[in-house]
Amino acid sequence: MMTNATTPDLNLPHAPAEKTLELALTQAQISYCKPDQLIGGFEGNPTFIVPKYKVAIFLNADLPAQISAVYSTWNLFGFDANQPEEALKSCLSYIQKHRKAHQKQPKHRFTFVDLFAGIGGFRIPLEKLGGKCLGFSEIDKKAIETYKNNFLDPQNPDELELGSVTNLSKLPFENIDLIVGGVPCQSWSVAGKMRGFDDPRGKLWEDTIRIVELNQPKTFIFENVKGLIDPRNKESLHLIVQSFEKIGYVVKYKLLNSYDFGLPQNRERIYIVGIRADYALKNTFRFPENKAKKSYLYEIIEGLEDQNYRTKKEKIEPRDLFGEKVPASRNRFQKTNELNDFFVFCDTRNGHTTIHSWDIIETTEREKEICLMILKNRRKQKYGKADGNPLSFKHLQALVANLQEEELSALIDKKILKFIEDKGYVFVNSKNSAGINGLYRIYLPNSNIFPTLTATGTKDVVALESVQGRTPDEFREKFINQIIKPQKYRPINAREAGKLQGFPDWFAFNENERFAQKQFGNAVSTSVVYGVAEVLTKQILT
Contact (Cβ atoms closer than 8 angstroms) between residue 215 and residue 168: no
Cα dihedral value 375, 377, 381, 384, nearest 10: -70
346 tagged catalytic: no
- Cα–chain center distance at 21: 34
Contact (Cβ atoms closer than 8 angstroms) between residue 91 and residue 499: no
Closest to 441 in 3D by CA, of 482, 497, 479: 479
Pairwise CA distance, residues 513 & 136, whole Å: 24
Q: Which of 33, 91, 133, 185 is catalytic?
A: 185
Hey, which residues does 460 pair with through a beta bridge? 441
Burial class of residue 421, CB neighbours in 10 A (0-12, 13-18, 19+): exposed
Question: Which residues fall within 8 angstroms of residue 172, CB to CB, at 6 or more apart?
Answer: 160
Pairing state of beta strands 460-463 and 441-443?
Answer: parallel
Pairwise CA distance, residues 382 & 518, whole Å: 44
Contact (Cβ atoms closer than 8 angstroms) between residue 59 and residue 70: no
Burial class of residue 72, CB neighbours in 10 A (0-12, 13-18, 19+): exposed
Question: Which residues fall within 8 angstroms of residue 392, CB to CB, at 6 or more apart?
Answer: 423, 424, 425
3-state secondary structure of 440: coil
Pairwise CA distance, residues 523 & 383, whole Å: 45
Known catalytic residues are 185
